[in-house]
Structure 1
Amino acid sequence: MDPTSSVHQHPKTVSSLEPDEEAQQHQEIHYAKGTTFSKTCFNMLNALSGVGVVVIPYGLSQGGWAGLGFLGLLAIISYYTCLLLQRCMNMDPHIKCYPDIGNLAFGPKGKIIISTFIYLQLFLLDISFLILVGDSLAKLYPEFGYKIGARRLDGSKAFIILSAMVVLPIAWLKSLRRLAYVSAIGAFACVVVIGAVIWVGLFGGVGFHDKGSLINLSGIPMATSIFALCFNGHAGLPTVIGAMKDRSMGPKALAISFITCSTAYALMSVLSYLMFGDQIKSQITQNLPIKNISSKIAIYVAAILPLLKYALVMAPVVAAIEESFSLCRKRVVNLLLRTTMVALTVIIALTFPFFGDMMAFIGSFLGGTVALILPCICYLKIFKGTKSCMVEKAMVMGILMLGFCMATIGTYFSLKRMLQKM
């Protein structure tokens, strides 16, 4: 997802569900200045795509072939909850982002709650980025290590600290506009990784001969958590829709983006499962034979992209803290704050260096909340008392219950697995 979209402005509230003359004028001005349909589709793809393409094969291996059904179901549900968010946005053309919807539904408290979940998700994503970089580089250089005082660090942990030292100067920058181009690299990186996997399967001596398992009931919670994360672009998608010239084209742009991402995810997970079966690791790049050039390219891409995205993901979190505490805007305090944030991500990454389990935790606890629970709650609140289809209300309630189940069960299993590995 596009992390910079979480920085937002305070919306104007409306006293009625019907837009007034001022709102219509606002919409006309917006049409003249908003983004085109094609650019919106590209931005949505960037919001949805990311490191999910690296971990989604692991999700399928955890649940077995039956996991494809859950993958398709979560894609449809996630698309539908995005539509719910857009319907909420249509009630007030001043709404620009997800937290603004919370403000419309529940006032300032709603905005704070949604913002908290989004910023926590971004913070945990930075932790997963460091783990991904550490594991990827350790795959290429397994003998790498160095001493810090009397203690020697080897493998992924050594690369985690080294990666943090690389991104720290970038994280100090208050303006990250020059780095904004990396969001466009996300879609290209996904294509590179998928292409590398196909190449290894066809020409790397691996083949597509593994049958895998039909279903693994014990792994379904882990699988659904990872799938939920892969389609969790809800934090940024309302901002992308809000920037459109014509918001009425939002559903079409969402459909194109979700179909494209679903196809890519399904292709990646199916081919990987046919190649490596139940032996798939938490990052598919860990299964690729490093003797192949295509494998090395995929591993380097999987390592470099998170480093480029780290500072962009961190920026909205720091900006929110600066907005809440004016002292943090002073240069020295600001540098200390940013350094502390990077240090915290390093400490947690070293304590829980389990990429798959971390991604599952983000997907279940935060993804289930941001993508399923909160859109349904906001929709039911904003449209309370209006005439709507009872079947649709029942469907929204069903998604709400599913979100609660995923958030509780998935979080329990992902935390349990992390604690068992410590």
Structure 2
Amino acid sequence: MSSRSHSAPACASQAPPAVNVFLTLLPITLAVFIGFLTIGLPLPVLPLHLRDGLGMNTLIVGAVIGAQFAAALASRAWAGNLADMRGAKRAMVTGCFAAACSGGVYLASLAFVAMPATSVWVLLLGRLLLGCAESLIVTGALSWGIGLAGPHNAGKVMAWVGIAMYGAYALGAPAGMAVNASHGFAGVAVATILTPLLALGMIAGVRAVAPTAARRTPFYKALGDVWVPGMGLALSSVGFGVITAFISLLFATRNWGNASLAFTAFGLAFIGARLLFGHLPDKLGGARVALVCVAIEIAGQWLIRGADTAVVAYLGTALTGFGYSLAFPGFGVEAVRRAPPQNRGVAMGAYVAFLDISLGVTGPALGAAAGVWGVSSVYLAGAIAAALSVPVAARLLATRQKGDAHA
């Protein structure tokens, strides 16, 4: 209840009731989209480069992919406090520069292809840099967007930022495959250097919001505020993690052809759900929306697990994208309700940290499982994890209804 009493005046003071959320967020959304192409371009290419170009097994592939999310997790506290104390715009600009540096490290890794182990270590450094960049861009964008549009529009802010992120995955995956086909992994690395620099131009003239905190907030305190919706996010994110890390390998194993269309199906379904239903978490309550959407995600993961054709796998990735699309802002609206307004940046960092934990563990753990039981087994794990998020959403819904009854 305390978070509600804090957020009400903030809502009145930070944004007028008639704020146009779409126009207010448009430059930030475009910058997130362009910046996240840095992540989308290598998505279908990097696992194949590691396996076919460097001769690595699925455990190493999962570990290298997951390193990005581990680095993002480790940098969430710093990114959140930077946004709160120095301004969200500065956090986002810093993230774009770090993303460009990650592409430079990818390019450098090609100098060591004759020494595969060394090349993998250099790639790992690039993934770590990209994880820090992702943390800064997302935390900065969410904090900046909520500061401009108001906390009463938090669900819409998360929806539009998410559209930009996963739209970049949807477009970046086939673009990365095309660049790789014509210019190899070196071309993907160069594109990864250039795209974040373009994102900087989108936000250069956008009004910054003033820092909201004068001193650092302990990250454990922010985690304590948002841990319940964070657990829902972590469990529902496993399905996304197994698609990003292993769908290319599944398609290669089954000889199904171009796996980039699976990323596109995921991204288009994700964006479609956000465009059509992105207002629902603010309107109906985040927990109620999350409860429905994780059920759709479970169905998608189950379809991929049992798929015997590429078309069924595409349908499974689309259902996963549709369900996961609104699970993120659904649980996120509940996180914003529990966070003091002056610590919103670090609270958003703490919330997204649960995504990092999920994806960081998913890569190596399920990579090892795929080596024993086959690649399709990871989608059974994704379905089980999504099912475990159902009681989390139910608990949040019950708590909210109880709170409303006493209000």
Q: Same fold (TM over 0.5)?
A: no
Point out the structure with the larger helix share: 2
Which structure ranks higher in relative contact order (CA pairs < 8 Å, sequence separation ≥ 6)?
Answer: 1
Tell me the TM-score normalized by structure 1: 0.30
Tell me the TM-score normalized by structure 2: 0.31
Q: Which has the larger radius of gyration?
A: 1
